[in-house]
Chain A
Amino acid sequence: MGLAKRIIPCLDVDAGRVVKGVQFVDIRDAGDPVEIAKRYNDAGADEITFLDITASHEGRDTTLHTVEQIASQVFIPLTVGGGVRTLEDIRNLLNAGADKVGINSAAVKDPEFVRAAAERFGSQCIVVAIDAKKVSAESESNRWEIFTHGGRKPTGLDAVAWARQMTDYGAGEILLTSMDRDGTKNGFDIALTRAISDAVPVPVIASGGVGNLQHLVDGVQQGGADAVLAASIFHFGEYSVQEAKEFMAAAGVEMRLGNL
């Protein structure tokens, strides 16, 4: 008995519409983030994460409206990330009803931004998203580097040291994505997940590479993740969140099933 590991479906949202098509069998509008969030809530998701990929300024107002709509109807925690650059961005998202805000490239550009955000709004709502790629050769010991711009731009920052620095600065949670595994369906980068999880005192969400339910179990049991984030395996209906939770519970992972 204790704290349950979390399953977090992630939605990519562009100007208020879900992209990378969610394919539920009987969904009315597969692009409506509010309806999809509700469905995931009903299916037992422990949290929902929104990645806002909106480029335009006008689109960002739509995002705030979407967050507001979801927060009025879905009563589980909601994290919103993507394009968060200023304290005002954070305040707007929190006021709209987000519980946590994900900061990614703005932290790389100015690490002090994370410190200011945590001081102003509290560590509990500041998630630092880390995109890491393995840069060591096979013969070397493992080393991962932080990349930005969807994995295209190296930063020279060591992923483990960076994660530690970010939690020192007040990040309350780390969302860790392996850029090597993202989209491959080959499973999480377990060594990376374990290295980061061991290095920081705060919870770590593993992301990138989930292709089956055993991958979720491995992320927790071998990688030491506190939560697992997945997109496509849930969106395309390969597995339901409920199936995933039952599978993980059967493998000995503490999960929230129903209300218990």
Chain B
Amino acid sequence: MNDVVAVVDYGMGNLHSAGKALEKVASGQRIVITGDPEQVRAADRVVFPGVGAIRDCIGVLRETGLDQAILDVVAAGKPVLGICVGMQALMARSEENNGVDCLGVFDGQVTFFGADLHNETGNRLKVPHMGWNQVRQGMAHPMWAGIANGARFYFVHSYCVTGLPDDEVAGRCEYGFPFAAAAVKGNVFAVQFHPEKSADAGLTLLENFLRWMP
């Protein structure tokens, strides 16, 4: 496996962790952190992370032409992994920052958890949703290989993906209400949690991504 794996760098925060975690599980693949659309297009696999506000993320992607590079990679059928705000950016639209049109790879919506969130026993839930929560796998998928159904992953986010068709929800999480913790569509897999911060379960998912042949 001499694949080149591009981690898309668009200036939105900490790519060190994603890069290091991929390096840790790589077996011959070359991990390249890049903001160059051509390098992204040329890569065999693409990891699309993100933190921060969606308007800034989408703005930088459009400015740099990385938005089109990502769409080209998706269209070319190469494996793509969206992480956190990267997942949200792949949806149709986010209600953050008074509404932002996103890349539209998925037809999902990105919605706020709400200021008055409660669990089933009536306890108030804090936002951001921060910490380790369980992911119920919605389907058997090579990305879940070796990962227990219900394994905990590390989340930190105030907005979440809803409104995906059932066959695109690869994993569900619950925080006040159910939301998509993982989405899949052909060669694109996207996760709301941070696999690079989710200890063994997260590293296994990243390793699965490096082997995934959609």
Contact = CB atoms under 8 A, between A and B. Distances in A.
B203 A75 contact: yes
Interface of B: 13-14, 16-17, 20-21, 24, 51-53, 115, 119, 125-134, 147-148, 150-152, 154-158, 174-175, 194, 196-203
Given A97-B14, A122-B53, A202 B128 contact: yes
Nearest to A119: B53
Contacts of A121: 13, 52
Contact of A260 (B125, B128, B150, B203): B150
A72 B134 contact: no
A71 B16 contact: yes
B51 A260 contact: no
Nearest to A96: B16
11 contacts: A1-B150, A3-B132, A3-B133, A4-B132, A6-B131, A75-B199, A77-B154, A94-B14, A124-B128, A124-B158, A259-B199
A95 B14 contact: yes
Nearest to B119: A2
A197 to B, nearest CB: 8
B204 to A, nearest CB: 9
Nearest to A45: B199
B181 to A, nearest CB: 12
B130 A71 contact: no
A83 interface: no
Nearest to A198: B124
Contacts of A125: 13-14, 51
B130 to A, nearest CB: 5
A256 interface: yes
A120 to B, nearest CB: 9
A172 B198 CA distance: 19
Contact of A97 (B16, B194, B198): B16
Interface string A170-209: 0011000000000000000000000000000111100000
A121 B52 CA distance: 6
A117 to B, nearest CB: 12
B57 to A, nearest CB: 10
Interface of A: 1-6, 41, 46, 68, 71-73, 75-77, 94-99, 121-125, 172-173, 201-204, 226-227, 256, 259-260
A2 B128 contact: no
Contacts of B150: 1, 260
Contacts of A2: 119, 133-134, 174-175
Contacts of A203: 126, 128, 130-131
Contacts of B197: 75-77, 99
A259 B152 contact: yes
B167 to A, nearest CB: 24
Contacts of B199: 41, 75-76, 259
Contact of B131 (A46, A75, A96): A46
Contacts of B196: 75
B152 A256 contact: yes
Contact of A202 (B17, B127, B200, B203): B127
Nearest to A41: B199
Contacts of A204: 126
Given A71-B20, A76-B154, A3 B131 contact: yes
Nearest to B116: A201
A259 B144 CA distance: 13
A124 B130 contact: yes
B16 A201 contact: no
A9 to B, nearest CB: 14
Contacts of B129: 3
A71 B125 CA distance: 29
A131 to B, nearest CB: 21
Contact of A75 (B134, B157, B202): B202
B23 to A, nearest CB: 8
